[in-house]
Chains A and B, each alone.
Chain A
Amino acid sequence: MENEGIRWLTVGGQKNVATLNLVKGDSVYGEKLVYQDGDEYRLWDPFRSKLAGSLKKGLKKMPIREGTKVLYLGASTGTTVSHVSDIVGNTGIVFAVEPSARVVRELIENVASKRRNVVPINEDARRPQTYFSVFGKVDVVYCDIAQPDQTEIAMLNCDKYLKEGGIMLLVVKTQSIDVTRDPSAVVSQEAKKLEKAGFRIEQILNLEPFDKDHAMIYCVK
């Protein structure tokens, strides 16, 4: 994968994803720091981050690279956000949207206050018009929210903020959408919704064994 920020490191006989640490010496959520060729990398746990899980499961192209502008829905405490921030570097920017005040507190403390490329937005992703401090169109929308109407919410955000030809990474949480149905049926139903709305689906990944009943959809606006 020709991406400056991401590296595959072999630690303890295992191949791991890692990102070039933007804030030297800082471990955000207790992840290991690894030094290689004079650079400091942060190991990226695929069990904790669905994006790392997708990379390990063979995501064809990694749309997030240096300088990318990302709208991140469902930032939570910023585990994945911190790695995305590593990758986009100082020329890129991450708008991190999270509705819950409790976790925004940690997002600000652990991630946003130390990383100049992270903009925390404490708003509900259902109302993209209320976001503050967002400017311009973004290159990538990353959506990881546990709501039954998550796909609709993601599309609403893409409509407002994603540029033409931009990419959306959508984490499909089948258990949040419908617990009673077969997970693969839920995924294909959500994929159909996207296609109907004009998205071109490039890849659908099943995130087992890192997250069960989760899928990652890679699509282009």
Chain B
Amino acid sequence: MAAANTGDEIASRSKGISVILLELGVASFGQDDGLIASKKFDKPIQSYRLVKSGAMSEDIRPFVERLRPLGIVKVNDASLAAVLRNSGITISLMSEEQQKSIQDTKPSQIVKAGFAKNEQEAMLALRDFAIELSSSRVKEASERLDLHITKSINALDELDKIINTVGTRMREWYGLHFPELDNLVQSLVAYAEIVSRSGMRQNITKETLEAAGMQDKKSDVILDAARRSKGGDITPENLAIIQRLADQVIAQSDLRRILSDHIETTMESVAPNVKELLTAAVGARLIAKAGSLTRLAVLPASTIQVLGAEKALFRALKTGSRPPKHGLLFQHPLIHSAPKWQRGKIARAVASKVAIAARIDYYRHNGTDASISEKLNSRLAEIREKYKEPVPEKERDRKYREHAQRQGSFGRPGQDRGSENRFRRDKKKGRKRFGKRRH
């Protein structure tokens, strides 16, 4: 090994002892490249990861002790260097060239350290190590709670669709037999309860209605309607199927409630601040859209603001039309209930607070921080005060055009698009593609 540049020269002149971290263990070599000491990890995956995270692994402690009298040692890995430094050993990090040359000859280093009989065996050991390490990471990643939030909220949205589809079909079908009920009972679940408990309209009684959660007055109206119904008779076979559908609606709604409670509690423990700002459902959808809480915590507020509005955003980037004001955040009551002209401003304010909240949740893990919503509320009051009245459309367009000119071409210099173009919203610019399009 060629000792190379400046900083390391002192170290190489002192003793020239090198310490090398390998996947299978640690080894130290003398100046003549002879092995001084080595220690194979007892459990390579755990020990390697511990050392890589800068912590001492117990199984190499005796090895480290043996290094102590040797003076300054050269180390090939920054994390191992930190571990040794913490144990009071003076180290110098190898130059990049030296690190590379060790990496290039890794199998032979493993053989020299006595961790494998020959290079062939060393390479196989390295491969097994790679599979095992990757597998353990996959396992860890699958245990992360924010991934479970993603799955939960997606399941919730799908359940909603299923309940709606099946429920509407049940309503339509039972409607052939008892059409008047459709207008009398709004809730899908209540309707399903009546169908499930009573069956044919002739069998609807005060008791079954009460069990289905109907009020006294409502029950009378329904009973009256049932007596005078214009609906046709229904065969027991058809009715049985409709009742099974109704049971499905009830069961799925039950599951939906459990799932929604579950999201509530998981969000409380994983991302309390995001939940505080957005409610559990919207917060969970945002995490799902970002991919994970980790990702959400590193996204800029401007991206959070338009998460879920990708189509509109990319259309805006391509054609120069107006960018979207909000994506998923629109589901937040603060935004969709606000006057139209305030929504963009509120969405921006909320997004910037969500960005901070996600970071606190991910990095600090320490309950809710009241100051976020306080600041948001004072900003919201400001917006409501300042923008009570909508800006006239003409003036708004003029302001936007001025802003666009100041900004150049949407933050993309060097692209000639012309600012007046961005107002021809519907006229898409034809794009030249390379090659002939066959599909």
Note whether A and B form a binding pair.
yes
A residues with CB within 8 A of B? 93, 101-102, 104-105, 107-108, 112-113, 116, 118-122, 132-137, 160, 179-184, 187, 206, 208-209, 212-213, 215
* Sampled A-B contacts (6; CB under 8 Å): A107-B134, A120-B131, A132-B48, A136-B106, A208-B435, A208-B436
Expressed in whole angstroms, the Cα–Cα distance for A180 and B412 within the complex equals 10
Q: Of A113, A116, A160, A208, which one neighbours B437 at CB under 8 angstroms?
A: A208
Pick the contact of A119 from B126, B138, B318, B439 — CB < 8 Å?
A: B126
Contact B142 A101 (CB under 8 A): yes
Residues of B within 8 A of A133 (CB): 23, 126-127, 129-130, 133
Chain B window 405-439, contacts with chain A (Cβ cutoff 8 Å), 1 for yes, 0 for no: 00000001001000000000000000111111111
Is B356's beta carbon under 8 Å from chain A?
no
A119-B127, A179-B318 as given contacts; A206 in contact with B435, CB under 8 Å: yes
What is B's interface to A at a CB cutoff of 8 Å? 23, 48, 100, 103-107, 123-124, 126-127, 129-131, 133-135, 137-138, 140-142, 314, 317-318, 412, 415, 431-439
A108-B134, A132-B48 known; A116-B434 Cβ under 8 A: no
Chain A residue numbers with a CB within 8 Å of B126 are 119, 133, 135
A208 with B318: in contact, given A119-B126, A133-B126, A182-B432 (CB under 8 Å)?
no
* Residues in chain B near residue A183, CB distance under 8 A: 433-434
Query: From residue B196, how far is it (CB to closest CB) to chain A in Å?
Result: 40
Q: When A and B form their complex, what is the total count of cross-chain residue pairs whose Cβ atoms lie within 8 Å?
A: 98
Taking the closest CB of chain A, its distance from the CB of B34, in whole angstroms, is 22
On chain A, the residues within 8 Å of B436 by CB distance are 208
Complex Cα distance, B138 from A101, in Å, reads 5
| Chain B residues within 8 Å of A179, by CB | 314, 317-318
Given contacts A108-B131, A135-B126, contact A182 B107 (CB under 8 A): no
Verify B434–A184 contact, CB threshold 8 A: yes
Query: In the complex, what's the smallest C-beta–C-beta distance from B363 to chain A, in angstroms?
Result: 19
Inter-chain contact A182/B431, CB cutoff 8 Å: yes
Q: Which of B100, B105, B130 has the most CB of A within 10 A?
A: B130
Give 9 closest A-B pairs by Cβ, nearest first: A184-B434, A101-B141, A135-B106, A133-B130, A122-B134, A133-B126, A206-B435, A208-B435, A209-B438
B181 to chain A, nearest CB (A): 47
Known contacts: A120-B130, A133-B130, A135-B106. The answer to whether A108 contacts B412 by CB under 8 A is: no
Taken together as a complex, chains A and B put the C-alpha atoms of A105 and B100 apart, in Å, by 30
| Set of chain B residues within 8 Å of A119, measured between Cβ atoms | 126-127, 130-131
With both chains docked as a complex, state the minimum distance between the C-beta of A104 and any C-beta of chain B, in angstroms.
5
Q: Please indicate the chain A residues that have their CB under 8 angstroms from the CB of B131 in the complex.
A: 108, 112-113, 119-120
Q: Is the pair B439, A209 in contact by a Cβ cutoff of 8 Å? A: yes
The answer for the CA separation of A122 and B141 in the assembled complex, in Å, is 11
Q: How far is the CA of A189 from the CA of B105 in the complex (A)?
A: 36
Bound-state Cα–Cα, A120 to B107, Å: 17
On whether the beta carbons of B318 and A206 are closer than 8 Å, the reply is: no
Give Cα distance in the complex from A198 to B291, angstroms.
37
**Given contacts A101-B142, A136-B106, could you give 9 more A-B pairs where the C-beta distance is less than 8 Å?**
A107-B134, A119-B130, A122-B138, A133-B23, A135-B104, A136-B107, A160-B100, A206-B434, A209-B439
**Complex: A102 Cα to B434 Cα, angstroms:** 34
Inter-chain contacts of A180 with B (CB < 8 A): 317-318, 412, 415
Report the Cα distance A182→B439, complex, angstroms: 18
Closest to A160 in B: B100
Min CB distance, B115 to chain A, in Å? Answer: 13
Known: A108-B134, A179-B318, A208-B437. A135 touches B129 (CB 8 A): no
Closest-CB distance, A129 to chain B (whole angstroms): 8
A209 to chain B, nearest CB (A): 4
Give the distance in Å from the alpha carbon of A59 to the alpha carbon of B435 in the complex: 17
CB-CB under 8 A from B433, the residues of chain A are: 182-184, 212-213
How distant is the Cα of A135 from the Cα of B108 in the complex, in angstroms? Answer: 10
**Nearest CB of B to A100, in Å:** 9
Residue in B100, B133, B412 whose Cβ sees the most chain A Cβ within 10 Å: B133
